[in-house]
A and B are shown apart, each in its own frame.
Chain A
Amino acid sequence: MPSLKDLRNRIASVKATQKITKAMQMVAAAKLRRAQTAAEAARPYAERMAAVLGNIASGVIVGPETPRLLAGTGSDRVHLLVVCTAERGLCGAFNSSIARLARDHANRLMAEGKTVKIICVGKKGYDILRRQFVQQIIELIDLRSVRQLGFEQGDMIAQKVLARFEAGEFDVATLFYSRFRSVIAQIPTAQQIIPAQIEATGTSSDAVYDYEPDEGEILTTLLPRNLTVQIFRALLENAASEQGARMSAMDSATRNAGEMIKKQTMTYNRSRQAMITKELIEIISGAEAL
């Protein structure tokens, strides 16, 4: 039986923890709003880009002249996984669910006898994946110093991926991130980025397009940019998802702390009452014995 002092201390410590989780929840809520607006603001660009690209690509016949970013290298021996996670923990299953998706993917590929290389964006994913894939991880991109995600970060990662692709280090690249559905639902997603997957647009116009400069040249500049946009978008979605996950994780932590405080207070009051009763009995029986 813990003493009254123990109980008091315990209650005080849970209360302090609750204050922290509550504060974290509110910070996450404020950040979430900003991240969500950013993710939504980026959507039109990505959508237009996809539409424009789909428009051009639907008219392209895959041949030796086609850019390799669209047609692929012709083999799928080496796979690159770009795993985007958060830099911080305490956000529920956010990091681990992305890492799990990537791990399953990597295991499946390795079982098929393919070579797997991993680029980690974000320290948390690296911490999880490093246990199993030390040899496969070729790079860790740290975004901890970045306060506001900008297009530059997407560009920076895309350039790194492109440089490796140009050097022939891999054939297929897949991007792992968490899509933001709502505060309580974040969906870990795997998206193939190289070769580019183009959705055929149903509204492809019959009108003859003029291209300035020519079609091929536009495609060669458009494809790397598309890669950047996809990565940038993944980063933004991830940022929103992270805050959403943290918010709900901290919300339930706050609630659990509240329950614990209630229970502990009850025990505290009971044992206090029990002690008073015990003392009273002692006094009364002492008086009776006289």
Chain B
Amino acid sequence: MATFNFELVSPERVLFSGDVDAVVLPATEGDMTVLAGHSPVMTALKTGFLVITSTPGNGRRILVRGGFADVNQNGLTVLAERALPEEELTQEILDHEILTAEMHYDASNEPATKQAAESAIAQLREAKAALNF
């Protein structure tokens, strides 16, 4: 399977850099999978899991919150405001994230941001359930 270069950076560090087969992005308009040779696209991300597949049938999941994905001829670059690999997730972190999202929800009056916060909360709850906390 053709591979392409993928980089995941958060403000604090570079989380992933290397060749991969496919990456599933939690884009604002719905999840999308990027494969090698994808046409150039720039999309905003919502809160959710990003799945990296570097060997068939073997994915690595990373929780991202907000950010951008940039696909160009050089590969895929994801700028995540906050990124947490699945193995580093704990109940405390998730609870904290949910609390922040809820605060965002309560603080805003615009329907768009409210909706975004709502979906973030749903995603985080789902993640919590999936990880059996």
A residues bordering B, Cβ < 8 Å?
38, 41-42, 44-45, 48-49, 52, 55-56, 150-151, 154, 205, 207-213, 217-218, 221-222, 225, 229, 232
Closest-by-CB residue of A relative to B72 is A205
Please name the 5 residue pairs, one residue from A and one from B, whose CB atoms are nearest each other, closest first: A212-B43, A210-B41, A151-B11, A41-B13, A207-B40
**Chain B interface mostly helix, strand, loop or mixed?**
strand
- Chain B residue numbers with a CB within 8 Å of A150 are 12
**Which residues of chain B have C-beta atoms less than 8 A from A225's C-beta?**
81
**8 additional A-B residue pairs with CB within 8 Å, beyond A211-B42, A225-B81:** A48-B79, A52-B42, A52-B68, A150-B12, A212-B44, A213-B29, A218-B43, A221-B44
Interface of A is mostly: helix
Tell me the B residues contacting A by CB distance below 8 Å: 7, 9-14, 27-29, 39-44, 68, 70, 72-73, 77, 79, 81-82
Inter-subunit contact B42/A56 (CB<8 Å)? yes
Task: Give which listed residue, A38, A210, A229, A232, contacts B42 with CB less than 8 A.
Answer: A210
Contacts of B11 in A (CB 8 A): 42, 45, 151, 154, 229, 232
A41 contact from B14, B42, B73, Cβ within 8 A: B14
Do B10 and A45 touch (CB < 8 A)?
A: yes
Q: Given A38-B12, A42-B11, A207 and B73 touching (CB < 8 A)?
A: yes
14 CB-based A-B contacts, threshold 8 Å: A41-B13, A48-B79, A56-B42, A150-B12, A151-B12, A151-B81, A208-B40, A209-B41, A212-B27, A212-B29, A212-B41, A212-B43, A218-B43, A221-B44
Contact A213 B28 (CB under 8 A): yes
Complex Cα spacing A217 to B14, Å: 26
A residues less than 8 Å from B82 (CB atoms) = 151
Question: How far is A154 from B79 in the complex, measured between Cα atoms in Å?
Answer: 16
Q: Is the CB of A213 within 8 A of B42?
A: no
Taking CB atoms, residues of chain A closer than 8 Å to B28 are 212-213
Closest to B112 in A: A217
Q: Do A209 and B77 touch (CB < 8 A)?
A: no
Closest Cβ of chain B to A239, distance in Å, is: 13
Say how far A261's CB is from chain B's closest CB, in angstroms.
Answer: 44
